Amino acid sequence: MTPTIGVFDSGFGGLTVLRALLARLPQAQFVFIGDTARLPYGSKSRRTIARYAAQSAQFLVREQGAQFLVIACNTASALALDAIQAAVPVPVLGVIEPGASAARSASRTGDVLVIATDATVQSHAYAAACQALGLRALEKACPLLVPLVEEGWTDHPVTAQVIRVYLDELLAEAAGAGLNPDTLVLGCTHYPLLRPLLEQAVPAGMRVIDSAEAAAEAVVRHFPMEKSEERPLTAQVVRCFATDSVEKFERLGSRFLELPVGKVELVDLGG
Amino acid sequence: MTPTIGVFDSGFGGLTVLRALLARLPQAQFVFIGDTARLPYGSKSRRTIARYAAQSAQFLVREQGAQFLVIACNTASALALDAIQAAVPVPVLGVIEPGASAARSASRTGDVLVIATDATVQSHAYAAACQALGLRALEKACPLLVPLVEEGWTDHPVTAQVIRVYLDELLAEAAGAGLNPDTLVLGCTHYPLLRPLLEQAVPAGMRVIDSAEAAAEAVVRHFPMEKSEERPLTAQVVRCFATDSVEKFERLGSRFLELPVGKVELVDLGG
């Protein structure tokens, strides 16, 4: 049996979660939708985000036959996971709890740092999820990192310098608060593309946790299949939909997926 | 008689146009609206942008008594000026024609460079307006500049380096196309905050034209009043409205206005 897994994001950053899933579940089929017409979710109310995300979730389940949903969007995971779970009759997994769990496994000091977008940090969803696991977490918004990734400057000296500035501020704040952090959580689906630069910038011994990979690991535990059917990674098993801006999705998406995204299909979810 | 001038933007960048107006028309009253709930306009269709912008324009005229409108938004100026003019019974001025006219006055070679957001460049509105005035224009999208301004890094070495990269690419492209540019047009309402860094980065002798100031000059020509009533600049004469994200508007707006924006009032323009 070939399961169909639906992956949702407000944009296309969630393709990094899909990439991690493809590598781990080569026998599954995937349907991705980016609600690009209505991004950014970060500036919208919880109620609006819940309504928008539920529409995408229902599209994936009802029209595309998804039997499992991954909310590859930190804002929607932070603000609307309950509403999405209530809107569809299949299991729904967000990215925040898996990220916090992976940090719990990685950290020996119990103190972790989280970098994310402004909206995710303002929700304090990572801090709450970490605290529920006994960790102390310090969050920092890094608003320049998404535009730098989208500009393609993932290996640019400017980006290395911006990361240096943000991490220095965060480490100074952590020291001032008496924390001894040994783990950095990437709380944004764009950040895996900056992982090499981030690994170079963190203090020696600090672990870097990627929420996208942590979420993919959590999905794999739902599908304990044999690996006999393994086949080479290919975008053939992926269908991608977007609610607008198909051109930008097609242009930038393959950097996130590390595979051609092929033709992105436009879908209208209404207002 | 004290005229009331309405200023519209999809966000709050248009406050740089308002700032230029305040300095030139101290005897006027101003009402500003930022349609922050529905930004970015850049990724939306012409028809949607026209509908949204017309709603804001009607709010300024019908509910706030504006007798003159300035569209301090490059995307709306590029794609919806006609629709806005048709929606309200008062004069409506955009930012693109004044910017092109100022470039025409400044340039001796007839070749100009335009930097703007991706959406404005894709509309080619500046190139068309420049061409109509006999200028050759080369446009370049500089997507990192808006986030750098919003991060407050208007005098940061990283921003200087990013500007250097963009300008080097643009100058190389101009040389390759056989152009001899002597004028740089700032085609985004955020960019006036980068003017000092941009002035340092352009080749010696190149003029920098600010569309915000050019638009303000064009408005002044509609109000040939005496300067006897001149009074110190104050935000008292400005009412600011936003459709969402009042907090970000209040936090960042004063940097653009160079005055406290005071309390930003939330208004619901409907879907």
**Which chain A residues are closer than 8 Å to B143 by Cβ?**
147, 150-151
Asked if A208 and A186 count as a contact pair (C-beta separation under 8 A), the reply is yes
- The angle at the Cα of B144, spanning A52 to B252, to the nearest 5 degrees, equals 70
Regarding whether A169 and A146 lie in a shared domain, the answer is yes
List CB contacts of A114: < 8 A, sequence separation 6 or more.
Answer: A121, A126, A127, A130, A137, A138, A139, A140, A184, A185, A187
Whether residue A179 lies inside any domain: the answer is: yes
In this prediction, residues A141-156 reach a mean pLDDT of 96
SS3 B239: strand
Q: Give yes or no for residue A29 having a pLDDT over 70.
A: yes
CATH classification of the domain holding B83: 3.40.50.1860
CA B55 to chain centre: 19
Regarding whether A220 and A199 lie in a shared domain, the answer is no
State the Cα–Cα distance between residues B84 and B93, nearest whole angstrom. Answer: 10
Whether residue B52 lies inside any domain: the answer is: yes
- Look-up of token digits 């808006």: B146
Whether residue B144 lies inside any domain: the answer is: yes
* pLDDT at residue number A46: 85
Asked if B6 and B34 count as a contact pair (C-beta separation under 8 A), the reply is no
| Residue among A39, A43, A146 whose CB faces B36 most closely | A43
Regarding whether A188 and A144 lie in a shared domain, the answer is yes
Regarding whether A207 and A102 lie in a shared domain, the answer is yes
pLDDT digits (tens, 9 = 90+) for A55-72: 999 999 999 999 999 999
Regarding whether A168 and A223 lie in a shared domain, the answer is no
pLDDT digits (tens, 9 = 90+) for A243-264: 987 888 998 999 999 988 888 9
* pLDDT at residue number B246: 86
Whether residue A248 lies inside any domain: the answer is: yes
- If you measure CA to CA, which chain B residue comes closest to A45? B244
Q: Could you tell me the pTM of the whole model?
A: 0.91
Q: Do B144 and A151 touch (CB under 8 A)?
A: yes
Q: A222 or B90: whose pLDDT is higher?
A: B90
Regarding whether A15 and A149 lie in a shared domain, the answer is no
pLDDT digits (tens, 9 = 90+) for B161-217: 999 999 999 999 999 999 999 999 999 999 999 999 999 999 999 999 999 999 999
Cα torsion A191, A115, A12, A92 to 10°: value is 120
Whether residue B271 lies inside any domain: the answer is: no
A259: left (phi over 0), alpha (psi -120 to 50) or beta: beta
Report the number of distinct structural domains present in chain B.
Answer: 2
Whether residue A271 lies inside any domain: the answer is: no
Regarding whether A195 and A258 lie in a shared domain, the answer is no
Whether residue A88 lies inside any domain: the answer is: yes
* pLDDT at residue number A89: 98
Regarding whether A112 and A195 lie in a shared domain, the answer is yes
Which range marks the domain in which residue B115 is found?
A: 96-211
Regarding whether B190 and B104 lie in a shared domain, the answer is yes
Out of B180, B211, B242, pick the residue that ends a domain: B211
Regarding whether B255 and B193 lie in a shared domain, the answer is no
- Rounded alpha-carbon distances, angstroms, from residue B18 to A263, B15, B65, B78, B257: 43, 5, 17, 19, 7
pLDDT digits (tens, 9 = 90+) for A217-228: 999 998 876 454
- ipTM of the predicted structure? 0.89
Q: How far is A141 from chain B (nearest CA, A)?
A: 10
Q: Give yes or no for residue B228 having a pLDDT over 60.
A: no
Disruptive mutation site among B36, B45, B151 for chain A (greatest number of A CBs within 10 Å)? B151
Regarding whether A174 and A115 lie in a shared domain, the answer is yes
Q: Give yes or no for residue B230 having a pLDDT over 70.
A: no
Out of B167, B191, B211, pick the residue that ends a domain: B211
Regarding whether B120 and B53 lie in a shared domain, the answer is no
- Which contiguous run of DSSP H or E holds residue B147? helix B145-150
Q: Which residues of B are catalytic?
A: 73, 188
* pLDDT at residue number B234: 57
Q: B116 or B235: whose pLDDT is higher?
A: B116
